[in-house]
Chain A
Amino acid sequence: MSAAFAYALVGVGLFSLGLYALIVHAHLLRKILAINVMGSGVFLVLVALGGRTREAQPDAVPHAMVITGIVVAVSASALALTLMLKLVAETGRAELPTHRRE
């Protein structure tokens, strides 16, 4: 059953990668991608750890949470992309105004 742990660790890796990119990158589209990667990591951890049952059938509750999560994540991304485009239309830059580049 160590496959569950292997996939959960991959999920942890995805989450950390996404977090790093979220901090490092200034470009907002890249930040949106980073948040999506983080979300995928969380989903992977949830479902992988839900597979630790002794029976063949995995736990259905994390599956249900992840399904709604996937759909909500895409709608949140759509909102974020629109916000980004609005910001670009206003300021001409795809970066947050607080982000100073020296």
Chain B
Amino acid sequence: MTLSEYFSAALLFAGAFFFLAGTLGLLRFPDVYTRLHAVTKADNVGLGLMVAGLTVQAETWTAAGKLLLIWLLVLLTGSTVAHLISRGALRRGIQLWKL
């Protein structure tokens, strides 16, 4: 393995860790708002690190650009959906979790 491969492997592992954290949060957190918090970590950081790791290995600039576009799109849709769901949940009177 070359240096760049070690580098992207590290990024990929970090991304996978955030996906694991997001899924764990989705399963273990107590209410929809905290779960939302966990999911967006996987969306933004997890996929971001994965995309970064794959971009290092991308064969052409087009492929790298496409990877970046995918990440930006997921950022955009993920944050919008998170906003819509949390606002809708608040309006419908779903209670915030309290200790």
Report A-B touching, CB under 8 Å: no
